[in-house]
Amino acid sequence: MKTEPIALRIDVDTLRGTRDGVPALLKLFDEEKIKASFFFSVGPDNMGRHLWRLLKPTFLLKMLRTKAASLYGWDIIFKGTFWPGPLIGKNFGDIIKKSDASGHETCLHTWDHHYWQSKIDSLSPQMIYDEIERGFTALEKITGKPPVSSAVPGWKCTEQVLLEKEKFSFKYNSDCRANMIFLPQVQGKTLTTPQIPVNLPTYDEVLGKNGITNENYNNHMLSLLKPGVMNVLTIHAEAEGISCLGMFREFVRQAREKGFDFATLGDVLDATQKPLPSASIKLEEIPGREGWVTTA
């Protein structure tokens, strides 16, 4: 029987997701004979840092008012103020290596997830390049080869980000939410690196809305899978790899019963008819997510 592919992307945002979520998913994929695309965060885990800011709003306001950050850079200001977030790749490179050796695609999510999500609006082209380059180099050091592709945190990608990414010769990028694989058009030029957008919602986007609970979540997701079109799903090592692991295992089995199967994003790209259409990206709001995300 011919199966319909679901391109499976795993975002790994934190130390905990890398340490606990990735090994659990690797075991599941091994048992179920699935190959998927892992997008790793390799720099400091600063995801808890915003909690500290909530506790000390006056400090943050003062920083903004004095523009101290733009004068000196956050690194210098926070040195000695915080313990730096632990480096994920340095601490758990062996897990990333194991994932790579198991035949999954090793791809770059980000150097510093929190920094990207909160600062992308104000980063210069050079800062964007440097942030990607740090993650790229760290992953390359761990696996001994360049990461296959990249995906920005929080679907926060601008035309400038696309231009900077073009310098890295990724096989593809996965930075936006849309319903077709395409070549991005920026400033009248068509870029050469395809975009594989995500078109299925994530767990945190749908849970608790429109009557969706853990009890009917899988049925809801199964109802969104469509044969004959692109299906790209993002799961998180922090959710589907830990607290939602049993539920996700059940989803895998039920999706297969419906005639779908799982593949890496790269494999889905290889099987997609060429030439690819071109499109420009847009920044807009989507249900379930705060602020803007990139669409096409």
43 close to 134: Cβ distance less than 8 angstroms: yes
Of 13 and 112, which has the nearer Cβ to Zn ion? 13
17 makes contact with Zn ion (CB under 5 A): no
The one segment of 8-16, 59-67, 100-108, 118-126 that binds Zn ion by CB under 5 A: 8-16
Contacts for 212 with CB less than 8 Å, ≥ 6 apart: 206, 220
Distance CA 50, CA 279 (A): 35
45 binds Zn ion (CB under 5 A): no
Whether cis (ω within 30° of 0) applies to the bond prior to 275 is: yes
Residue 131 lies near Zn ion (rule: CB under 5 A): no
State which residue, 11 or 105, has the beta carbon closest to Zn ion: 11
Binding pattern to Zn ion, positions 137-156, x when CB under 5 A? ----------------x---
DSSP alpha helix (H) spans, the chain? 15-16, 22-32, 49-55, 57-66, 68-72, 74-78, 88-101, 113-119, 125-143, 159-165, 203-206, 217-224, 245-257, 265-270
Nearer to Zn ion, 41 or 218 (CB): 41
Does 13 bind Zn ion (CB under 5 A)? Our answer is yes
Instruction: Specify which residues 8 forms β-bridges with.
Output: 233
- Asked if 195 and 184 touch (Cβ cutoff 8 Å), the reply is yes
* Closest CB 171 distance from Zn ion, rounded Å: 20
State which residue, 43 or 153, has the beta carbon closest to Zn ion. Answer: 153
Stretch that binds Zn ion, among 9-17, 66-74, 91-99, 281-289 (CB under 5 A): 9-17
Nearer to Zn ion, 117 or 199 (CB): 117
Q: How far is the CB of 203 from Zn ion (least distance, A)?
A: 12
Q: In the complex with Zn ion, which residue's Cβ is closer, 237 or 279?
A: 237
| Contacts of Zn ion in 176-205 (CB under 5 A) | none
Phi, psi of 271 (to 5 degrees): -85, -5
11 binds Zn ion (CB under 5 A): yes
Q: Are 154 and 263 in contact (CB under 8 A)?
A: no
Report the interface residues with Zn ion, using CB under 5 A: 11, 13, 153
